[in-house]
A = this chain, B = another copy of it.
Amino acid sequence: MIVVADNLQVTNRIIEQALKDMDPVPIQDLVKQLEAAGAEAIDVNSGPLPRQGEEKMVFLVETIQQVSRLTLYLDTVNPRALAAGLRACRTAPVINGFSLEPAKLAWILPLAQEFNCDIIGYLLYPGGLVPAGANERLDVAVQLFQAYQEAGLDPEKLIIDPIVPPLMWQDGPAQAREVLTVIRLLPELLGFQVRTVAGLSNLTSGLGPSKKRLHLEEAYLAMLAAADLDMVLLNALHPRTISIARACQSITGSKIFSVVD
């Protein structure tokens, strides 16, 4: 399970301001912190970048690459900014991501083809709604994989995000368990070892900062690891969450870590 930091996002005011001012320093400080904390990749969530999108995404990618060689997950719905960002990447990036939403199929999917890179597909309905249960998510997975294949893309470059539900939702805990089932069943359903990714912080969305929130994320992280999740997006500045991720890697054998040191 690869740990992808979800901290570099435009909803963070420091990053928002740095992006506005084109100031590399706060961005590079954060990236260095994330790498030191144990992040193995970085999600670059720039938001939609309605103005100077290409310029800003290139600035982000180049700024990060000046201090880090970690894999970048480019996370924007703006296809022009995304294309510019992909072009600026020196090591193989990941597109985060597409869904059955017609605009994304039309504008994002071809970029995965053009840049021959990994791309995350979300198990969401075309209108953006989250499917309610395991069966509904698996139905969407079949449709998503079909659209993906029809675009002529390599199955091995697909990564599926089953969408972790907030526990706050009325059926949140039940859906969270169904997501574990979906992760387990996807390779059999699609007939190959499709990779999976999940956004951990979505689990506790709306709960506010608390110890309990972190415990819920830590517990669910281990459950995701046991379901053989390949990548997890999480707050890499929570040392305990990183420690639990390392412990999971020791147990699931996804990385060789000594269990004794």
The smallest beta-carbon distance between A248 and chain B, in angstroms, is 5
Within 8 Å by CB of A259, from B172, B180, B225, B226, lies B172
Q: Which of A23-31, A51-59, A249-257 contacts B (4 or more CB under 8 A)?
A: A249-257
Query: Is the pair B246, A215 in contact by a Cβ cutoff of 8 Å?
Result: yes
Q: How far is the CB of A204 from chain B (nearest CB, A)?
A: 8
CB neighbors of B among A180-215 (8 A): 180, 204, 207, 211-212, 215
Known: A222-B219, A223-B223. A167 touches B251 (CB 8 A): yes
Judge whether A219 and B244 touch: CB under 8 Å: yes
Does A80 interact with chain B (Cβ within 8 Å)?
no
For chain A, the bracket of interface size reads 35 or more
A229-261 CB contacts (< 8 Å) to partner B: 240, 243-244, 246-248, 250-253, 259-261
- Judged by a CB distance under 8 angstroms, whether A107 is at the interface is no
- Assess A176 versus B247: contact at CB under 8 Å? Given A207-B260, A225-B219: no
Interface of A is mostly: helix
Min Cβ gap A19→B in Å is: 33
| Distance in angstroms between the alpha carbons of A229 and B252 in the assembled complex | 18
CA A244 to CA B172, docked complex, whole Å: 18
Q: Chain B contacts of A219 at CB under 8 A? A: 218, 221-222, 225, 244, 247-248, 251
